[in-house]
C-alpha cells in the first residue's frame, strides 16, 4: 500500500468532523466500521479486499480469517473504549491507586491486541503472503490509531497538553506575528 494512499486516508479521517460527531460516553462499539462506511461507502471487508487486491481464489480463506480476526478484536476494542470512557468520566475523582489500576488495565489491553495481531499475522501470511499480510495490518493499525486518536481527544489531559502547546507556541513567535 502506498504512502500516498495511507496519507489520503488519514487526511480524510481527520478532516471529516462529521465522522466523529459521536459522544465517547455513548460509544459502545468501535468507530472503525462507521468510519469505513462513511469514507468509502462500503464495508470494511470490501475495502480490505480491494486495497489488498484479494483474488477470487483467495477470497474465501481471506474472508474467513478476516471475520475471525474482527470477531476476536471486537471485545478488545470495546474494553479499550470502556477503559478510556471510565478515565474520562472519573477524571476528577482519580486518585493514585485508581489511576495506577486503570493504566495497568490499558497496558494489558494493548498487550492483548498485539498478541491478537501476532497470531493473525501468521494466519494472514498463509492466506495472502507476507507482503499483503503486512499491508493488512498496516491498514488495520491505521484505522485503529485513527479511532484511538478520536477517543483520546476527548480526554481532559489531552486538552491540557494542547493548551500548553498553544501557549508555548505563542511565546516562541517573534513580535509582530
Distance, in Å, from the CA atom of 16 to the CA atom of 121, rounded to the nearest integer, reads 30
For residue 147, the model assigns a pLDDT of 67
Give the dihedral of Cα atoms 40, 46, 52, 56; nearest 10 deg. -150
Report whether pLDDT(43) > 70: yes
The pLDDT of 22-48, averaged and rounded, is 62
- Of the candidates 148, 18, 161, the residue with the CA atom closest to the CA atom of residue 84: 148
Least confident piece of the model among 10-14, 121-125, 157-161, 170-174 = 10-14
145 vs 131, higher pLDDT: 131
Residue, of 146 and 95, whose pLDDT is higher: 95
Q: What confidence tens digit (pLDDT) does each residue in 52-61 have?
A: 999 999 999 9
19, pLDDT greater than 70: no
Residue 8 pLDDT greater than 80, yes or no: no
b vs e for 112-124, b when ≥16 Cβ sit within 10 Å of the residue's Cβ? Answer: bbeeebeebeebb
**Residue 164 has what pLDDT?**
59
**How big is the chain, counted in residues?**
177
Return the closest-CA partner of residue 45 out of 26, 69, 66.
66
Helices (H), 25-175: 32-40, 44-51, 59-89, 96-128, 130-153, 156-172
Q: Which of 23-27, 57-61, 104-108 has the lowest mean pLDDT?
A: 23-27
**pTM of this prediction?**
0.66
Q: N- to C-terminal Cα distance for the chain?
A: 41
| Average pLDDT of the chain, as a whole number | 75
Residue, of 37 and 24, whose pLDDT is higher = 37
Residue whose C-alpha is closest to residue 147's, from 6, 43, 20, 25 = 20
Amino acid at each position: 500500500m502506498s504512502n500516498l494512499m495511507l496519507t489520503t486516508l488519514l487526511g480524510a479521517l481527520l478532516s471529516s468532523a462529521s465522522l466523529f460527531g459521536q459522544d465517547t460516553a455513548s460509544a459502545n462499539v468501535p468507530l472503525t466500521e462507521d468510519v469505513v462506511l462513511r469514507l468509502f461507502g462500503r464495508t470494511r471487508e470490501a475495502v480490505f479486499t480491494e486495497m489488498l487486491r484479494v483474488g477470487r481464489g483467495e477470497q474465501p480463506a481471506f474472508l474467513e480469517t478476516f471475520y475471525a480476526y474482527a470477531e476476536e478484536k471486537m471485545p478488545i476494542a470495546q474494553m479499550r473504549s470502556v477503559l478510556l470512557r471510565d478515565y474520562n468520566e472519573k477524571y476528577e475523582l482519580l486518585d493514585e491507586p485508581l489511576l495506577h489500576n486503570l493504566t495497568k488495565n490499558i497496558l494489558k489491553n494493548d498487550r492483548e491486541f498485539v498478541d491478537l495481531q501476532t497470531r493473525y499475522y501468521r494466519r494472514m501470511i498463509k492466506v495472502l503472503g507476507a507482503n499483503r499480510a503486512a499491508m493488512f495490518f498496516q491498514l488495520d493499525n491505521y484505522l485503529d490509531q485513527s479511532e484511538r486518536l478520536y477517543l483520546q481527544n476527548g480526554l481532559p489531559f489531552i486538552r491540557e497538553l494542547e493548551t500548553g502547546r498553544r501557549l508555548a507556541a505563542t511565546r516562541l513567535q517573534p513580535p509582530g506575528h
